[in-house]
Structure 1
């Protein structure tokens, strides 16, 4: 089960988000096409790659928005007056449409980060399939009869594909910012929304920088450093940003927003730690990744940081980062990571984070409300049963 599947949504929520993502992509397609055929081809491929994802982040935003809204829309007036309050705005029918637009913007932000991440990591595959870079190379190879193609070397094609991914990621970041900037909100709420977007981008970049530095051995690979990297790189934009945005768009109080942000930080970190666990101990046919790719790449995860402290590390270290790691060697390392206690410690940390999130929600029932509490409980349950 994926975490998105574990959260209850109305039957039309996914269709709403997909439709809005498609509308945003299509609305920019003509503008991109006017820049030239190269840009148009890249945008078209990015659009095809982007559609059909799990939509975890936008679905979380809409689920939280619906749980927080104060009243059903059909019974409310559509014209609250010349200077509507936040609570009045969130009760209007168009407020739901605006939430869907922001949710689509977060999905564009997510895909932009994935493109940049694949460039940094030098990956051609994601979840067992060709990623944007890999698909672009396939398209170019299929059209190898094009003028100038015979002069292109494999290295130059790869450089061009990776550069294209980076630049398309920049376009998607710009599109996401434009969606947030265009939100029709009172000035204070709009400033808070933009501040959360800015924070999410800054922390994600900081987390990626730390990840790169860890891989190069430029940063101490202790547990605290790796956990903070995981929080910045994933938790902030994947959980905190959707929950903060939902609170702001729904007109929830700053106190409610703060609680949701803290819950998002806890659950987002649990999500990333669980992702590392699944990559090492999960079934590749369920999570879609090479069973030992993190070990072959020498990826600094919390599991590895814990293993470094144990007597098993001298047996693990020769295989860590070995590009030619065999399945048998990988299975041995995986067994050592379990026996040395690293696996158990990470599972205990995930359980602790989930328990802290439950306690946080239970402590403030009046601020959270029953519907939001139920959504967060479903989110925690989905984390517990996650396999991909």
Structure 2
């Protein structure tokens, strides 16, 4: 049986993604090398952090692409193919180098069903390899987009740590303090903090620009290319809208009912983290708008489920696993689904005095967490997570033309992996 590892979550594709991300970062490093030490230092530091990520989003894109490959490129995967023995199947081993050699003259519009170019088994194999190389480049772009959002998010939240370790801003501060010896000078340290946050915003902007450049370089005018650009732009726009809503909710500028919080979570996380990778895989495979639409809906469900699970882990998970302060969301006044549910319960008057005050002792935090359980907030969120997962499974199980059984297996494995995560 095909597993998530077999269709893109195992070591071979991870190595391919890392190689492509490194290539992009090195190329940009060469470009900024003559622009001064400040940008060189910042880019090197960001690159070192970016290369150490989990690669969830690009791995999802490649997993989906490989799961769709048998439907998208059937001629290239048959045993009768005269090149089958000398050319491994797309999911076996690294395809970055082979696909890159086929890049010239082969763009997104020349996918399955295209009238351009030669026909036959060899052309089918070339098309499959070229498409997979394009998928890797778009996957790298999404990882750059993700890290850009992380940098901006840390500035917005005023964070110096991520997952229990210094983030980009925190590491810059450590470097600069060690170099300047200013840690004992409060005024100088405040200036360094401002400079580190400004650097994070600017490098985030540069990463966003690099991600967009990759996407635009991979397409030419045509239906498929325009759809990919449209989905990338939509992901950026909705993610920014979700972040703005999160800021407004935390400041009390807008209402914080459950529907608002859930929609904010969908925009902020689901659109770019799950929906964009799945839609991109469908577009690059050339399987048509119907398959893209179905996988987009699946991505929206699973992305929202992922964010709701994050909210649960932040409050009810173990700090050693997720690397966050056990009560940071409560202390900072994060408007999560848990809080939205509790707000309408009888225990809210007991929670409210401790929520978003910036001060919360261990005993007070434990009390608030207990009250959240007492009102059933954690149970309701878990029910919603299960419903979203079940609906995603059911949608893929209908197997619209082109999706095929491998995608159902991938989604099943992904849901089980997400359910079992602790960070």
- Unpaired runs of 5+ residues, structure 1, are none
- The separation in 1 between residues aligned to 2:192 and 2:104, in whole angstroms, is 56
- The separation in 2 between residues aligned to 1:27 and 1:79, in whole angstroms, is 18
Matched, 1:268 2:285: no
Match among 306, 313, 317 for residue 341 of structure 2? 306
Alignment correspondent of 1:104: 140
CA change 1:225–1:6 in 2 (3 A) is farther
1:387 Cα deviation from its structure 2 partner: 1.4
Which range is displaced more, 189-198 or 91-100?
A: 91-100
1:290 Cα deviation from its structure 2 partner: 1.1
1:253 Cα deviation from its structure 2 partner: 1.8
Which range is displaced more, 263-272 or 29-38?
A: 29-38
* Equivalences for residues 85-164 of structure 1 within 5 A: 85-87=110-112, 91-144=127-180, 153-164=188-199
Matched, 1:21 2:21: yes
Aligned pair count reads 383
- The separation in 2 between residues aligned to 1:203 and 1:254, in whole angstroms, is 20
1:364 Cα deviation from its structure 2 partner: 2.7
Match among 247, 254, 258 for residue 219 of structure 1? 254
Matched, 1:326 2:336: no
Deviations 1:238-289 (A, max 9, x none): 0000001000111112111110000000000000000000000011111111
* Equivalences for residues 1-388 of structure 1 within 5 A: 9-69=9-69, 70-71=73-74, 72=76, 75=84, 85-87=110-112, 91-144=127-180, 153-184=188-219, 187-364=222-399, 366-388=401-423
For the aligned residue pairs, the C-alpha RMSD in angstroms reads: 2.5
SS of the equivalent of 1:286 reads helix
Task: Please say if residues 20 and 140 of structure 2, whose CA atoms lie closer than 8 Å, have aligned partners that are also in contact.
Answer: yes
Task: Name the TM-score, length of structure 2 as normaliser.
Answer: 0.85
Deviations 1:63-87 (A, max 9, x none): 0011111234755997999997421
Task: Please say if residues 103 and 130 of structure 2, whose CA atoms lie closer than 8 Å, have aligned partners that are also in contact.
Answer: no
Task: Please say if residues 6 and 381 of structure 1, whose CA atoms lie closer than 8 Å, have aligned partners that are also in contact.
Answer: no
Task: Please say if residues 365 and 373 of structure 1, whose CA atoms lie closer than 8 Å, have aligned partners that are also in contact.
Answer: no
- The separation in 2 between residues aligned to 1:204 and 1:6, in whole angstroms, is 30
CA change 1:151–1:286 in 2 (3 A) is closer
CA change 1:380–1:7 in 2 (3 A) is farther
SS of the equivalent of 2:421 reads coil
1:381 Cα deviation from its structure 2 partner: 1.3
Deviations 1:171-198 (A, max 9, x none): 0000000000011466221111000000
- The separation in 1 between residues aligned to 2:307 and 2:103, in whole angstroms, is 43
SS of the equivalent of 2:199 reads helix
CA change 1:183–1:300 in 2 (3 A) is same
CA change 1:87–1:185 in 2 (3 A) is farther
SS of the equivalent of 1:143 reads helix
- Unpaired runs of 5+ residues, structure 2, are 78-82, 88-98, 115-123
- The separation in 2 between residues aligned to 1:345 and 1:383, in whole angstroms, is 18
Task: Please say if residues 207 and 232 of structure 1, whose CA atoms lie closer than 8 Å, have aligned partners that are also in contact.
Answer: yes
- The separation in 2 between residues aligned to 1:368 and 1:138, in whole angstroms, is 49
Task: Please say if residues 111 and 131 of structure 2, whose CA atoms lie closer than 8 Å, have aligned partners that are also in contact.
Answer: no
Task: Please say if residues 8 and 378 of structure 1, whose CA atoms lie closer than 8 Å, have aligned partners that are also in contact.
Answer: no
Task: Please say if residues 6 and 378 of structure 1, whose CA atoms lie closer than 8 Å, have aligned partners that are also in contact.
Answer: no
Deviations 1:361-388 (A, max 9, x none): 1123544201111111111111222211
1:55 Cα deviation from its structure 2 partner: 0.4
CA change 1:81–1:214 in 2 (3 A) is closer
Which range is displaced more, 160-169 or 8-17?
A: 8-17
Alignment correspondent of 2:90: none
Task: Please say if residues 6 and 382 of structure 1, whose CA atoms lie closer than 8 Å, have aligned partners that are also in contact.
Answer: no
- The separation in 2 between residues aligned to 1:216 and 1:318, in whole angstroms, is 16
Task: Please say if residues 7 and 378 of structure 1, whose CA atoms lie closer than 8 Å, have aligned partners that are also in contact.
Answer: no
1:11 Cα deviation from its structure 2 partner: 2.7
If asked which structure has higher relative contact order (CA below 8 Å, sep 6+), I would say 1
Deviations 1:343-371 (A, max 9, x none): 11101111111111111111235442011
